[in-house]
A and B are shown apart, each in its own frame.
Chain A
Amino acid sequence: MTYAPGDPVVVKNDWPETRGPVHIRTPHYLRGHKGQILRYLGDHPNPEDLAFARPAAKHPLYHVTFPMNELWPEGRANDELVVELYEHWLERP
């Protein structure tokens, strides 16, 4: 576990779906956006491998929050998204 609650993070601006068949659990609308670690949710086998019946290493999973106005031009700053993201999709800003 690399991140602690309150840490700022950026979701990788990566698009594996443009490179071939994949299964990813990081919604497109978060890629490249800044959020903040809310809580650690334990280590879980990587679904990107489970989906193809490959051996799946466990990755730390976090709840990450994003202000709505970080994601959408019309978003309200006071509302926020809370999303489960695996550590390998997160970077320090």
Chain B
Amino acid sequence: MKEKVMSLDQALNLVQDGMLLAMGGNGMHRNATLFALGLTLKPVKDLKVCAAAPGIAADILVGTGKADRAYFGFFGLENEAGLAPGMRKAMQGANPTAKATEGS
């Protein structure tokens, strides 16, 4: 078995422009939130995200314009955390910055 431990910065640099990322977790639960926040500090662009129930991590990427497309069944944060603010900002209104493919 090969050792694969690396720094957060090294792992963030693995993500390249245009990649499709599957985001783990659900709603506010066990999302790789800090990793997603780290991506917002990198120049990477044109990402796409997918998950059955993407939550806060995908919301960060869509809301900051890092991701321009999301494939999902349900996109929200659930309970008191409510709707996904970044997703709404990116997808509602006259000039959306991200496209949703629901039911995928």
A, B bound: no
- Chain A residues near B (Cβ < 8 Å): none
